Every structure is written in structure tokens, then in C-alpha cells.
Structure 1
Amino acid sequence: MAASVERLLNEISSVDDPVEELQGLKTALYSIPISTLGDSVSGQRLGVIFALLNSNSREQVELCVDILERILMALSPIHLVRMYRAELEGGVQHNNEAVKILALTLIGRILEHPKAITEILKSSDVLCAVIRAIGEEKISVAEQAIKSLCKLTHSKAGLDKLFQPDLLNTIKEVMVVSDVVRYRIYELVVKVSSVSPSSFTYCVDSGLISQLLGELTGDDIVIRVTAVEMVTNLAQSLHGRTFLTHEGIMDQISNMIRGAETDPFSSLYLPGLVKFFGNVAIMDSPQQVCETYPAFQNKVFEMALGSDPAMIGVALDTLGLLGSTVEGKQVLHKTGDKFKAVLVRMSHFANTEATEVRVRSLEAIAQLLTLQPEQQTEDLLALTESWFHLLSKQPLDMIHKISTQPFPELHVCAFRIFTAIASQPWGQRLIISTPGFMEFVLDRSTSPTKDAKDAKFELVGALVSSSSATEMLGSQNCLRLKTYLREGPYYVTAMAAVGTEGAN
């Protein structure tokens, strides 16, 4: 097979229009199993294929990319860097998007290989080319460059190299290309900083983290919005949150929430600020965050009770996030009538607003009502039951009506609420005491879509797995539910054939 590949390469080099020969080589390469392809082509000279990339023929370039991808992906990273370093650098600087992405992907393979990376760290040219690719117009090229560079930072040697003066200066040169490119660099920095406390220290020492944080108070509102998103990603790691607290950024963001009332442009960045604290709360401690930064919790309630659909949606998502934990439920409960008013409003949204707001409201309610078996203390069961009954005079009927409306996404969300209460004794008591509800659960025809069938199957599973199910629902109902579970979500009852012999 290696001989046939060599023959095809020779044929390609001897013709003026090699498209047909390239197609033949591609077909031959794809007929060789990838597991053995590396051995078959490792000794081949691919200069002719690399040379053919410099063409105005789109078809020719695409065939060359397919051929090179098949061959080079089969080679070891060490072989790649030793044999094709210059070609890969040239590929990053090529004018064709597919060529750039292939070269960047291959460089990424080299950078994540513990031995191959030592070869590429000897030269800055390739890495500088990758950094400059972040400034490319095509976002797909920039994203692949960022992805490949992130692999460089998984070792101390790689971190040392990336933050050496020559590469760091290249990074800063690329940042001035445009606001968009600057934020791509921030994206890289945030991803690198999340790898480990050590990588975070490199980013801080480079000055790039401080530059990002300075964007939070910039005059350009659009830039400020993007900065908030970046800082939110920075807070995903414990060392990131510790740094933000130590540097006073948490207080700064809290003050931005307070000052939003007097800023006519606050609607642009306020959702991001709320999401920031919501994420921090769920990763650390809802109680600590809400007590330390009361402006956050107050603003979430204010947004939920307001009239701006965009703000309402963010508030609903945040409340669901907070309420997904026991500590978050307790924090919300401590606010007393304030949260009760919000919960009543959530019920209103679930029934009357646009579909997107209804879905987000139902999702949040399901999270608020969910308790894992080990969390079902007497106090918490009483809490979720009281919240459920705040939704309506007949809350089960209300959610049931939503689940029968001709909107598949609402149907699924309603079943998530049923599932949330199905594992709790008070919910089972309510389900069995509601006429016709158990029949509704067991009736497969009420779930027309795949997602709805899956959601109902989860509900049945929650009922069956509860330790209190037999006592609350009765052994006969439990037997029917177990049969449903055993048959699976997509079971269809077979219809007996009716004989028609002799019928006219």
C-alpha cells in the first residue's frame, strides 16, 4: 500500500492539473485503516502536497487539506514536529481557513504530547504564529488557536514559554488589533488561569488579569458587558474567586448593582452582574454571598417582580439556581413574605407570559421544589409543601393543565415539577388524592413527543424509587408503576388482529 501511495504522489507531481490524481490519492488513503496508515506513509515525502496548497483552485486546496489531514493525523506528534515544523508554521499563515485550522489542530496535538512539546518549545516562531492567529477575522480560526495554546499551559515548561517576553509581547501586539480580538485574548487568559493556581499566578504576573478587571469600569458599555462575562468565568475556580475577593472586585460588582438604578444603560450589564453572584453563590455558599452582598439578593427579587422580560428571565434562572441547594432554599425562606411574593409572581409567569418566560419559571419552580431523599427532613418537606401550595389554590390541577397544553417544552417542564414532588410523601399524598391523576400518569397517550415520554418516565421512576411509595400510593398502584417502568418509556401495546374472513 505504501508503494501505491508513493506512485500516486509521483503522478501528482508530474501533471499540471492534478485534481483527478489528488482524488485518487484521497480515495487510496481512506481505504487504509487509520491504525496502520501511519506506518504506511511515515516515510513518504509530502512536499508536493504542501506545494499544491498554494493554488487559486478551491477544489485542489480542499483535496490537499483532506489528504494532509488523513496522513498527518496518523503520524505521531514527535514525527510531526521533527518533519513538518516549517510546513505547519506556513499553514497557520495560509490564506485558506481550512488550511489554517488543520495546521493549528496539528500543533495542538504536538503541544499536548509530553515529548513532542519539548521540540516545539525550542523555537518561538511557530507559537508566535499561533498567537497571531487569534487576531484572524474568521472566528473558527481564532477559536482553534486559543484551544491549541491552552494545551501549551498544562506544563510548567509551556507556561514559562508562553509568558516569556517575546511571546507575551506578541500577545500584547495582537490585543490592539480590535476590541473583539482583545477579548479573545482575555478568553485565552481566563482559560489558562483556570487550569491551576500556578497558571493563575502566571496570568496575574503578566498584568493581563489586571487589564481585564480594569475593563469593568470602562466607558464603553458593550465592553463592560463582555468584561463581566469574562470575570464570571474567572470566578469559576476557587483561586479565581479568592483573588477577586482579595482585590475588592466582589465589592466593586456589588456596588455596580447598587448603582444600576441611576445608570440608564444598566439593563445591558445588570443581568451579567446578577449571573456573576448567582454562580459564585452556588459554588461557595448561598448564605454567605447573600449576607455579604445583600444588594445581589434584593436586586434578584426586584427583577422578578418587575416588568422587563429580559430581567425577569435572569431573575428566574438565578432563583432556580439558588433554590437547587438546601442552603439556598433556607436563605430564600428566611426572607419571609418577600420570597412568598416572588413565588406567587412565578406562578403568574408560568400561566400567562410568553413561552420562554413560562418555561424558565417552571424550571425554577421545579428546582425550588426538588429534594433528594437524604435531604427530606421534616422541616424541608414542610417548606417545599408550603411553597407548592403558594402557587395556586389547586396547584396540582394548575400544573396538570399546563402539561396538557400544545407546547412540548411546557409539557416537559410541568412533568419536571411533578417529578420534584413525586419523591416526597406529601406530594405522593396529593397525587393519589387527586381524582384521575394516577390514570393520567399511566396513560402513555398523554405524552405525544419523545421528550414528553422521557419526562413522564422520570416521573414514574421517582414514584417507584421512593421509600414511601407503597404506603402512600398502595401496592396495586405501585405494581402498575413498576410495570410501566419495566416496559420503558416508548412501549406500545400490541393490537390483536381482527379476523375478516368471509366479510363483505
Structure 2
Amino acid sequence: MAASIAALIDNLPISENKLESLNDLKSLLGNLPIHSLGSIVANVSFNSVFDCLSTDNLEEIEVCCDVLKKLLTPVPAQHVLTQFPAELHAGLKHDEIPVRRLCLAEVLRVSENCCEELMVREEVVIAVVRALADQSLEVAKCAERVLTNLGLREDGLAVLYGGDVMSSLQEVLASNDVIRFRVYETIVAICRQSDMGLQRSSESGLVQHFLNELHKDDILVQLNCLELLSDLATTEHGLLYLDGRGVMSSLETMMTNVQSDPLATFLVPGLMKFFGCVARLRPKEVCTRNEMFVTTVFDSLTAPDNPSMRSLAVQTVGFIGSSVEGKLALEKLGSRMDSGVRCLGKTLREGQQDAKVIVLQALTSLLKLKVSDQTTELLKLTEHWYGQLGTNTFGYLMSLAEQPFPDLRIALLILFESLASQPWAQTIMANHPGFREYLLNRSTEKTKECKEKKYNVVLTLANSPTVAEVFGNPYVVQLKVYCNQGPFFIRVQAEVAMEGDS
């Protein structure tokens, strides 16, 4: 086999039908496991395969890419750029997408495993930067991942924001809106990774270039900017930076002016998402200082003619309430929050399936409490919010468990898991007719993920310090047996032949 592969590769330059030779090579390689291929590749030069990319025949190029992908797989990442620097550099600039995709995937592998090998290849980094402007979104996204990996290291940041690489970034930045925001997306991803990445990105001037977009008179540009600002605001160092640069104040002003500026209403979804992200880190500050944000969120929960805004508001409330500090901040809103939770209950019962899933996810965030956080005050709060959802809520939730939609069942089971550790919810579960049997019945779930989520409910309940008091020891024993058997246990039914059976 090794001799056949070597012979095919050696004969490629003189082959009269390269496509047929490449297909033969592809077939041979396809039958080999990776560990066997590694010993063959180590003793074979396949530069001649790269040479086959220099053709206008797209079919030949695609087969060649398949062959190269197989050949390159066993090559250690630290050797890829050492052995094929010119070939990969040329491939990154190739006219055909499959070639650029293949070569960029190899560069990505290098950036993930031995980034220092990439940092000494400035010409390759420049080609990756220019790939941000690629017509293929897949290629552009891969380039973003490579550059983001480069931004994990201080010496990588020095390469990225220095010399010709920086000049190339500025050239790509001068492209159209779509490509410009790909660059911003990459910069923000680097900034989110570390304070060092944020500081070096800021010193390069690129962050300020991005922040200036917020004040343009183009609503679409502003919305894209808000989307990326929301990502940056999910990190503490990012939030501190934005606050220090006056961005928070500017956005608060924009939020306040929404009602007086008809065009500004288009920015409401972006502003709501941004302040929702901020509220996750600083819930008390946002909920007390930004009245317009709070009003907009809770008014949107009842928006009958705008389901997308209603869904965003539901997600925002859940986002804020995912932490203990967020729960306490929402509690301070008093009747406004109670009314909001009643809206969640109404949407859960009357909304479309996708809306039900979003509400279940938000309720999971609002009602979840770690055992270590289960103070009397917080347990009363989650029980109170549950009570605001409406009458016979658990009965309705159990009716959802009979629906055949996996995404709905998964969201429901995750909610059950969040409730299963709290004594008040355990009491509701224990007293609901059929719940005990449902929980131990493995036949209710058909998919792998649903089985795993149900197992998590059982595991949480079985490990709760209050479960024996609520459910009784005999049931706890059954729960622990379920846990020991794992999520995918199947009971084998023994068949016994009786005398006289035919």
C-alpha cells in the first residue's frame, strides 16, 4: 500500500490524466487509518500534489484538496509551516475557495497548537488578515479564529498590531461595511479574551475606530456596533473600559432619547441587549440608574404586535436574573417584576413553540438556586415568582412533557433540574399525581440529549439534602438506583420457556 501511494505521488508530474491519478490516490488514502498514514507520509514528499492545484479544472482542484487534507492530517502542527511555507502561503491566495479553505484550516491548526510557528511567518499572517475580506464567509470566519488565537499571546499581539500586518488590517478596514465589521468582530474577540488584548487593541487605535461607528447616522451600522459592544460588555474588563471611555453614558443618553427621536426606535433592540449584558455584571446599578431600560424591557413583555421584541425582553429578564445579585435587583422592582413574571406565564401558555422554549429558558435562569445560595430569603423569592406564573403551573409543565418536540422537552427538563434542588419545588413535584412515575420512566425520552437532561433531573433530586424528607426514603433509593445505572440504561426482559409452550 505504501509503495502504491508513493508511486502515484511520484508519477503525478508526468501523469497524462491527473484527475484519474488523484482519484486513485484518494481511494487508496481513504482506506488507510490515520496511524498507518502517519508512517507513510513521513517518508513521502507530496509537494507534487500541491503542484496539482495550479489548474483551472475545478473538479481536479477539489479532488486534490481531498487528497491533501488526508495527507496533511498526520503531519504534526509544528511541522506544517516548516515543511510547506510557500505552498500554504500560495494556497491562501488561490482563486478557488476549496484551496483557501484547506490552507487556512492548516494555519488554524498551527495557531491552536504552536502559535509561535505562525508568529515568525509574517507573510502568512498578512495573508490571513486579507482573508477576512474573503467572499466565502466560512473562509473569513476561519481567518478570524486564527487571528483571535494570535491575540491570546503578548508576542502574538505585537505581531498583529505591528509593521506590515497592521498596515494590512487598516487596508482591509477600508473596505465596505460588511468587511469592516468583520475586522471589528475580530478585534472585539481579541479584546474579550484578556485585559492585555484589550489594551494592545486600544493602543493600536482600532478600538477607537470601532467606537466612532456608534455616532454615525447609519442605523444599520449603529445596530452592528451595538451587537459587538454587547459582546464586549459581557466581560468585566471590557465593561470597565467602555465606562471609562464614556460609552456607557452615550448609550444611556441614546436610550433616554428614544421616545423623542422616531429613527432611534430602531436602535431599541440593540440598546436593550447591550444593557441586558451590562445588567448581568452590574444588575443593581443598571436596574436603579437606567429607568428607561427597565421600562422598555417590561413594556416589551406585553408587546402583542412585536414578538421579536417580546422574546428579547424575556431573554433579557432571564439574563439579569441568572445571578443572585440579579435576582435581588429584580426583586427591588416590586410589582413591576411580579407583573413581568405573570407575562412570562401567559406567554408560556399562549405563545408559539419557539416562544415557549425562550420562556422556559428564562424561567430556568430566574428560578435556579445553587444549594449554597439557598437562603430563606432567596427560596421565598423563587417560590413567590413561581407562584406568579399562574394557577396549576406544574400541571401545565407536565403537559409540555408529553409534547413530541425535543427542543421543548430539553428546555422543560433543564427547568425541572433547576427546581429539583429547592424544597418548595420538591414538595410540588412530590405531590403532583404521576410525577414520581414519570421521573423514573426511562421510556418517556427517545433522544440522547433528552435522556441526559432527564438523568440530570434525577441526579439533582437524588443528591439534594432535603429529598428524603419530602419524597421519603424508599423513593430516594429508586432515584439512586437510576443514577447508578446511568442515563442510557436499558432493562433486558428475560424470557422463560414454560413446559407445554409451543
1:394 counterpart = 2:392: yes
Matched, 1:216 2:214: yes
Q: Is residue 320–residue 364 contact of structure 1 (8 Å, CA) maintained in 2?
A: yes
Aligned-CA RMSD value: 3.0
**1:18 aligns to 2:15 (yes or no):** no
C-alpha spacing 1:496/1:259, structure 2 compared with 1 (3 Å):
same
What pairs with 1:290-305 in structure 2 (closer than 5 Å)? 290-305=287-302
Partners of 1:82 and 1:119 within 8 A in 2: no
User: SS of the residue aligned with 2:88?
Assistant: helix
**Does 2:191 correspond to 1:193?**
yes
Inter-partner Cα distance in structure 2 for 1:400 and 1:82? 60
Provide, for residues 71-121 of structure 1, a one-character-per-residue CA deviation record: whole Å limited to 9, x for no partner.
Answer: 344445565434432222211111111111222233344455355345414
Q: TM-score normalised to the size of structure 1?
A: 0.88
**CA distance in structure 2 between the partners assigned to 1:451 and 1:60 by the alignment:** 41
Aligned length: 500
> Conserved in 2, the CA contact under 8 Å of 1:257 and 1:299?
no
Question: Aligned partners of 1:409, 1:103: CA distance in 2, in Å?
Answer: 37
Question: Is this contact kept in 1: 2:130–2:172, CA < 8 A?
Answer: yes
Q: State the distance in 1 between where 2:268 and 2:402 align.
A: 36
Q: Match for 2:233 among 221, 235, 244?
A: 235
More deviation, 92-101/470-479: 470-479
1:116 aligns with 2:113: no
Report what 2:62 is aligned to.
Answer: 62
2:85 aligns with: 85
* Aligned-pair CA distance for 1:344: 1.0
- Counterpart of 1:276? 274
Name the structure 2 match of 1:310: 308
Correspondence 1:460 to 2:458: yes
Letter in 2 for 1:338: R
Q: Is the 8 A contact 1:392 1:398 kept in 2?
A: no
Q: Separation in 2 of the partners of 1:2 and 1:480?
A: 57
1:419 to 414, 417, 423: 417
2-structure distance, mates of 1:68, 1:486: 46
Q: How does 1:304-343 map to 2 (within 5 A)?
A: 304-307=301-304, 308-343=306-341
Aligned residue in 1 for 2:363 = 365
One-letter code of the match for 1:116?
E
Question: Would you say the 8 A contact 2:255–2:268 is kept in 1?
Answer: yes
Change in CA separation of 1:310 and 1:266 when aligned onto 2, cut-off 3 Å: farther
Query: Which residue of the other structure, out of 251, 254, 257, is the alignment partner of 1:256?
Result: 254
- In structure 2, the gaps of 5 or more residues are none
- Structure 2: distance between partners of 1:366 and 1:421: 8
Task: Render the CA deviation track for 1:322-380: whole Å, top value 9, x for unaligned.
Answer: 22221111111111111111111111111011111122112222322221111111111
In 2 relative to 1, CA 117–481 (structure 1 residues): closer, same or farther, beyond 3 Å? closer
Deviation of the 1:478 alpha carbon: 2.5
Amino acid of the residue matched to residue 13 of structure 1? P
Q: Secondary structure at the match of 2:460?
A: helix
AA aligned opposite 1:120: R
Give the distance between the partners of 1:109 and 1:428, measured in 2 at CA.
48
User: Given that residues 315 and 362 in structure 2 are in contact (C-alpha distance below 8 angstroms), is that contact kept between their aligned partners in structure 1?
Assistant: yes
Seen in structure 2, the aligned counterparts of structure 1 residues 385 and 21 have a Cα distance that, compared at 3 Å, is same
Q: Shift of residue 491 of structure 1?
A: 4.9
Residues 25 and 323 from structure 1, CA distance in 2 versus in 1: closer, same or farther, beyond 3 angstroms?
same
User: AA paired with 2:401?
Assistant: S
Does structure 2 conserve the Cα–Cα contact (< 8 Å) formed by 1:403 and 1:412?
A: no
Q: Is the 8 A contact 1:105 1:148 kept in 2?
A: no
Alpha-carbon spacing, 1:116–1:366, altered in 2? closer, same or farther (3 Å): closer
What does 1:468-483 correspond to in 2, within 5 Å?
Answer: 468-483=466-481
Does 1:349 find its partner at 2:314? no
1:257 shift after superposition:
2.1
Offset, 1:47: 4.3
> Which 10-residue stretch deviates more, 173-182 or 74-83?
74-83
Alpha carbons 1:81, 1:119 under 8 Å: kept: no
Distance 1:10 1:448 in 2: 52
Q: What does 1:117-196 align with in structure 2 at a 5 Å threshold?
A: 117=118, 119-121=120-122, 125-196=123-194
Query: In the alignment, residue 270 of structure 1 is paired with which amino acid?
Result: V
For the structure 1 residues 347 and 82, does the alpha-carbon distance in structure 2 shift closer, same or farther, using more than 3 Å as the test? Answer: closer
Q: CA 1:478–1:173 in 2, change beyond 3 Å: closer, same or farther?
A: same
**Contact 1:203–1:209 (Cα < 8 Å) also in 2:** yes
Structure 1: segments with no counterpart, 5+ residues: none
Aligned-residue sequence identity (percent) comes to 32
- 2:400–2:408 CA contact under 8 A, matched in 1: yes
What is the CA distance between 1:66 and its match in structure 2?
Answer: 2.5
Alignment deviations for residues 427-483 of structure 1 (CA, whole Å, 9 cap, x no partner): 222333344443444445555665554444333333222111112222233233334
Deviation at 1:260, TM superposition (A): 2.4
Deviations 1:189-222 (A, max 9, x none): 1122233323322211222111211212322222
Residue 95 of structure 1 aligns with which residue? 95
Tell me which amino acid in the other structure corresponds to 2:466: S
Counterpart contact for 1:287–1:327, Cα < 8 Å: yes
> Using the alignment, how far apart are the partners of 1:454 and 1:74 within structure 2?
34
Distance change (3 Å), C-alpha of 1:207 and 1:405:
same
| CA apart distance, 1:30 | 5.2
